[in-house]
């Protein structure tokens, strides 16, 4: 299943302005302004300028928050997005409730406290982001993420992403029985997405700091529904004749 572009000229726009270029512009803008984000529960809030808001939206980081303050723009980031900007792109500083800037290690432990599966989810998120995929929440489809080839205004999401950590063999694990596969694949097919399963292997590393991510591996598997109509003998016979 290939990309489904939204309207005439969308593919040309995406090719003319690749996501890697947009993210580089965002990185430069945030670094130049010494931008800071404020920890707020399981998210990070940024008071952004007009330029920063445009670039964050263009690069698909966070979402705008409507407030009564007409002269201010607020962007809400997820913890995975904030950690990517802070730790990988190194263009955002995160401030805690005490007004002090969090170190990468402090932000790492904070994120794990808020989300136990954060190490695996962030590894998957950064894995896709570094390949220039746009990654957004997939909760509305019952998956962890959805992945776009470019901005959602130009193209529909191509993959529904499930992140499976080590030890996904317990009773609460996902995709443990065929009925799980069947339901998930049917759902993905009904919304024209391919199921992408990312198996995160820790390889014996713990979660003491973000440095453990270097030892994590990811196995990618795309899973599609078998179509019996395409596998009938008469179809094969017609093809040969």
* Helix (H) or strand (E) run with residue 74 in it: strand 73-78
Q: Are 200 and 163 in contact (CB under 8 A)?
A: yes
The one catalytic residue in 141, 193, 202, 216 is 193
148 a catalytic residue: yes
Residues forming beta bridges with residue 161, ordered by sequence position: 145, 196
Q: 136 forms bridges with which residues in the sheet? A: 146
CA dist., res. 96 & res. 173, Å (int) = 33
Residue 156 a catalytic site member: yes
Helix (H) or strand (E) holding 32: helix 19-32
| Catalytic position from the list 6, 109, 156, 199 | 156
Active site residue 199: no
Residue 101 per-residue DSSP state:
B
Residue 82 and residue 88: Cα distance in Å, rounded? 10
209 DSSP assignment:
S
Catalytic residue chosen out of the listed positions 84, 141, 148, 216 = 148
Spatial contact of 20 and 132, defined as CB atoms under 8 Å apart: yes
| Residues with a known catalytic role | 148, 156, 193
């Amino acid at each position: 299943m290939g990309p489904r572009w939204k309207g005439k000229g969308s593919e040309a726009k995406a090719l003319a302005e690749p996501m890697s270029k947009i993210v580089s512009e965002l990185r430069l803008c945030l670094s130049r302004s010494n931008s800071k984000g404020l920890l707020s529960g399981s998210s990070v809030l940024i008071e952004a300028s007009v330029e920063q808001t445009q670039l964050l939206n263009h690069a698909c980081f966070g979402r705008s928050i409507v407030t009564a303050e007409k002269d201010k723009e607020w962007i809400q980031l997820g913890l995975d997005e904030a950690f990517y900007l802070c730790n990988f792109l190194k263009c955002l500083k995160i401030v805690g409730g005490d007004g002090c800037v969090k170190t990468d290690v402090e932000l790492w432990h904070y994120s794990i406290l808020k989300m136990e599966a954060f190490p695996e989810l962030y590894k998957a998120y950064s894995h896709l982001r570094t390949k220039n995929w746009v990654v957004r929440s997939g909760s509305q489809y019952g998956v962890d993420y959805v992945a776009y080839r470019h901005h959602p205004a130009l193209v529909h999401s191509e993959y529904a992403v499930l992140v499976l950590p080590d030890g996904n063999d317990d009773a609460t694990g996902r995709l443990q029985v065929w009925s799980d596969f069947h339901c998930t694949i049917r759902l993905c097919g009904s919304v024209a997405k391919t199921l992408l399963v990312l198996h995160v292997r820790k390889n014996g590393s713990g979660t003491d700091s973000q440095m453990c991510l270097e030892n994590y591996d990811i196995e990618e598997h795309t899973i599609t529904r078998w179509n019996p109509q395409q596998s009938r003998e008469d179809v094969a016979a017609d093809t040969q004749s």
